[in-house]
Amino acid sequence: MSTSNRSAYHHRALRPALIAAARALLDEGGPEAVGLREAARRVGVSPTATYRHFRDKDALLAAVAAEGFREFGAALAAGQSAADPFAGMGAAYIDFALAKPGMFQLMFSPLLAAQAADPDLSAAADAAFALLRKRAEASAPGPFGGDIEATTLIAWSMVHGLSRLVLDGVLPREAAEGFKRAMLARPPGAGPATA
C-alpha cells in the first residue's frame, strides 16, 4: 500500500496521477477536453499543485503524448510481424489511430511540434518514426518506386492521411477497412493491378 498511505497532504505520486487523469480526459473528449483544473480535480488536488510537476498545460500534454508515442511504437512493431510486414505495419498505424483517436490527434497536434524541446517527447516520437523508415528501407523498392525516401514519404502519407480523414469525420470508418484490404492486395514490389 505504498500509494494509499499517503498523508493526504503530500500525494507522493502526483505526476503520474495527473498524466493518467489527463489521459482519461483525452479519451473521453479529445484534446480540447483536457484541462489542468479538471485533471487536478479528478486527482483530488488543488489546481496549482500541477505546476510543481509541469511547467504549464502544454508540458502536461507533452507527457501524455510521449506515452502515446511509446504505445504507438509498440503497436507498429507488433504489426510488422504480420505475413506482409509492410501492410501489417500500415494496418497497425491505422488501427492505432482509430482505437485511440484523442491520443492520435494530440500526438500529431501542431501544439506538440512547438513542444519539440521536451526530450522525452521527441525521443519517443523519433523512435516510433524510425520504425516507419526502417520498414520502408527493408521493403524498398516498394510498390511506389525505388527511392527509400520516396517510399517512406508516400506510404507514411497514405496511412496518415487516411487515419486523419476518418478521424476528422470526412470519410466513414468503413473506408479504413477498404484501405487496409487494398494495401494487402498490393504487396511490396508488386506492380499495379492492371488486370
> Where along the sequence are the contacts to DNA (CB under 7 A)?
7-12, 14, 34-38, 45-49, 51-53, 56-58
Contacted entry of DNA, a copy of itself, none for residue 153, CB cut-off 5 to 8 Å set by kind: a copy of itself
Question: Least distance in Å: CB of 167 to a copy of itself?
Answer: 7
Q: Indicate whether 172 belongs to the interface with a copy of itself (CB under 8 A).
A: no
Question: Least distance in Å: CB of 44 to DNA?
Answer: 7
Instruction: Count Cβ neighbours within 10 Å for each residue of 82-110 and write b for 16 or more, e otherwise.
Output: eebbbbbbbbbbbebbeebbbbbbbbbee
| CB nearer a copy of itself, residue 25 or residue 43 | 25
Residue selected from 15, 45, 109, 120 as contacting a copy of itself according to rule CB under 8 A = 109
Q: Indicate whether 98 belongs to the interface with a copy of itself (CB under 8 A).
A: no
- Cβ neighbours of residue 60 closer than 8 Å, sequence gap 6 or more: 18, 19, 22, 34, 36, 39, 50, 54
Contacted entry of DNA, a copy of itself, none for residue 25, CB cut-off 5 to 8 Å set by kind: none
Q: Indicate whether 134 belongs to the interface with a copy of itself (CB under 8 A).
A: no
97, 54, 92: which is closest to 74 by C-alpha?
Answer: 92
Contacted entry of a copy of itself, DNA, none for residue 165, CB cut-off 5 to 8 Å set by kind: a copy of itself
Distances (CA, A) of 120 to 33, 124, 183: 23, 6, 33
Pure H helices in 7-147 = 14-29, 36-43, 57-79, 85-99, 101-107, 110-114, 119-139
Residue selected from 74, 148, 175, 184 as contacting a copy of itself according to rule CB under 8 A = 175
CA-CA distance, 175 to 166, in Å (whole number)?
A: 8
Residue selected from 148, 160, 184, 187 as contacting a copy of itself according to rule CB under 8 A = 160
Backbone angles phi, psi at 173, to 5 degrees: -60, -30
Contact 115, 58 (CB under 8 A): yes
Q: Which residues bind a copy of itself (CB under 8 A)?
A: 30, 32, 105, 108-114, 116, 129, 141, 143-147, 149-150, 153-154, 156-165, 167-171, 175, 178-179, 182, 185-186, 191-194
